[in-house]
A = this chain, B = another copy of it.
Amino acid sequence: MNTTTPHPPAPDALQVLAFDIFGTVVDWHGSIAQEMQQRYPQVDGDAFALAWRAGYAPAMARVMSGELPWTLIDDLHRQILDTILPDFGLSHLGETERAQLNHVWHRLAAWPDVVAGLTRLKAKYILCTLSNGNLNLLTRLSKQAALPWDCILSAETFHAYKPDPRTYGGVARVFDVAPDEVMLVATHHDDLAAARACGLRTAYIERPLEYGAQHPKDGQAVAANNLHARDLLALATLLGC
């Protein structure tokens, strides 16, 4: 399926598009697998990328529960990295190599439709990020990938990780608009459901290769989303851009 529009929003009322980043805008799995292939070809890059990402939600949950103090994603990524390196025979990596490898999250490649799609959408809407990535990560990643945001918003802005309501509601408050004048664009149904619970509109982007070609994702439409699009070019078309 290419696109469906179960609940098309009134275009006039929509002012802000807020984008999830990891998976929706950038290909974390492919970028990490490729970098591992280049740096440490003896390691299974696919498994390494999945293991690194798998530590992400539990680490954020420990912060949000209060078990850990507020921590930037760069630091959580590093803690997870230190944990998984022995499982891949890389315990011997020193500080410099670990720090360089951790910065792969600042160098993730955008999906091929992203720059053209965002450029079309930017003519009509305020485009911002809404990611658990910290401001430094999001800024450096966006600069190297030439992503034309109007504003970078982060869990760091709101001192809370998605799916905390302070993040979704925070976008509307920052831009002084009603929640339904903001649309979250994401490839994860749990993120979109949490945004809807805060009154935001939602657009699902398929990204079937988010977890790599060996682990295709079910990109089925969920009727509760306002929009469902294959990629950001299709989203731009749906929104009349």
Contacts and interface: CB of A to CB of B under 8 A. Distances in A.
Interface size of A as a range: 20 to 34
Nearest to A147: B150
B151 A139 contact: yes
Contacts of A157: 135, 157
A136 interface: yes
A87 to B, nearest CB: 27
Contacts of A136: 174-176
Q: Tell me what chain A mostly uses at the interface: helix, strand, loop, or mixed.
A: helix
A74 B176 contact: yes
Interface of A: 74, 126, 128, 134-136, 138-140, 142-143, 150-153, 156-157, 174-176
A135 B74 contact: no
9 contacts: A74-B176, A126-B139, A128-B139, A135-B153, A135-B157, A136-B176, A139-B150, A139-B151, A143-B150
A159 B63 CA distance: 22
Contacts of A138: 151
